[in-house]
Structure 1
Amino acid sequence: MKRIAMTTAALCLGLPAVAQDFSDGSEAKTWNLAAETPARFEATVVDMLCELTGDCAENCGGGQRQMGLVRAADGVLVYPNKNNQPAFTGAALELAPYCGAEVEVDGLMIEDPELGATNIYLVQKIREVGESEWVTANSWTKKWAEANPDAEGKGPWFRRDPRVNDMIGESGYLGLGLEADEAFIEEWF
């Protein structure tokens, strides 16, 4: 009751509301990122583009669109932009099978007003509401390798990814064109 009164007063005075604490029960492992806090909450998995613009695709785009989490406690749209692997990849792929489902997630929330980071989420575990077993959100690189069998070799996935290499071939490493790349390389290396 006290929290509701404080939030109402803050809104009436034009002050920012007190942020909710979702760390209770979280088993998230730290990444030692600035402004990270453990966060475990229930949410509905949504297609972000659909949620924000009304441009909705069947089955949330089948893993081809960014996924979001509408938090059950307060209706806030949370942006999951990372899974439980070292690279900043995989959240959409990990959440796609849960399109429209009520889930519980455990991970790290990033909130840093100075950087403009609000409701950025690093999902580490997922389970449908009511289920007892968690699914670790770490399948992205395995699924990437299955989808790109000709991209075998050493080094990080993005050095071998056909889409990345096609983009570099068309517009250079800097994205400014092949001539700009040549001039940059000559000047700096």
Structure 2
Amino acid sequence: MMKFLAPLAALAFAAPLAAQDFSENSEARSWDLYAEVPARFDAKVVDLLCELTGDCPEDCGAGKRQMGLLRSADNVLVLAMKNNQPAFTGAAVELAPFCNQTVTVDGLLIDDPDLNAKNIYLVQMIKAEGTDDWVKANKWTKEWAAANPDAAGKGPWFRRDPRVQAEIARDGYLGLGLEKDAAFIEEHFE
């Protein structure tokens, strides 16, 4: 009996397998981020809240929820946190049209156990299953501008975003309340 249990115990207590290398054929452009690695893989586009809690609307939350990638090779849930634009925004907008579909993505994977950063993904290109056409993941700012026509102007989008402005009006720039904000501004800027 021990002869059969020993190999099973060795497997159970063995060091975890090395992370898979998804860099083959990747054409992702570096962002010079710490622990970034080019990664191209097939995955099912999923609603993260659905995957984690079982709250699963048909349309993946109609673009109002964070999207994730359930990687086909190992069934790992990868957190899509950014699109191919300079701001750290847009992954959900880019992936929502592919809700519950299998796609191939190309981008940057951040995986660093020292930082507790695991399976964080910056999607740059998306290709729907059964097609040869890659779609650049760069439409977030155009969609934001179309949804916020009264916020047109120069400067970063977040300085003009009505949601951001409403938060600042309610809680101040620091998020600690208007009185704390006023005291901080007086102490540091006047």
Same fold (TM over 0.5): yes
Aligned-residue offset at 1:134: 0.0
Aligned-residue offset at 1:187: 1.1
Aligned-residue offset at 1:114: 1.2
Aligned to 1:38: 38
Aligned-residue offset at 1:50: 0.3
Q: What is the 5 A alignment of 1:1-189?
A: 12-189=12-189
Q: How many corresponding residue pairs?
A: 182
Secondary structure of residue in 2 paired with 1:126: strand
Secondary structure of residue in 2 paired with 1:182: helix
Paired letter, 1:79 = L
Aligned-residue offset at 1:168: 0.3
CA contact 1:10–1:16 (8 Å) conserved in 2: no
Paired letter, 2:88 = F
Distance in 2 (alpha carbons) for counterparts of 1:163 and 1:156:
14
Q: Rate the CA distance shift 1:9–1:185 in 2: closer, same or farther, 3 A.
A: farther
Q: Tell me, which stretches of 5 or more residues in structure 2 are unaligned?
A: 1-7
Distance in 1 (alpha carbons) for counterparts of 2:76 and 2:43:
9
Paired letter, 2:110 = I
CA contact 1:148–1:161 (8 Å) conserved in 2: yes
Aligned-residue offset at 1:188: 1.2
Distance in 1 (alpha carbons) for counterparts of 2:126 and 2:66:
16
Aligned-residue offset at 1:186: 1.0
Paired letter, 1:164 = V
> What is the RMSD of the two structures over their aligned residues, measured on CA atoms?
1.4
CA contact 1:102–1:128 (8 Å) conserved in 2: yes
Runs of 4+ in 1 over 6 A off after TM superposition: none
Aligned-residue offset at 1:9: 8.8
Secondary structure of residue in 1 paired with 2:133: coil
Distance in 1 (alpha carbons) for counterparts of 2:181 and 2:116:
31
Identity across the alignment (%): 68
Q: Tell me, which stretches of 5 or more residues in structure 1 are unaligned?
A: 1-7
Distance in 1 (alpha carbons) for counterparts of 2:69 and 2:99:
10
Paired letter, 1:128 = A
Q: Rate the CA distance shift 1:9–1:42 in 2: closer, same or farther, 3 A.
A: farther
Q: Rate the CA distance shift 1:40–1:176 in 2: closer, same or farther, 3 A.
A: same
Aligned-residue offset at 1:57: 1.7
**What is the TM-score when the length of structure 1 is the normalising length?**
0.93
CA contact 1:45–1:69 (8 Å) conserved in 2: yes
**What is the TM-score when the length of structure 2 is the normalising length?**
0.93
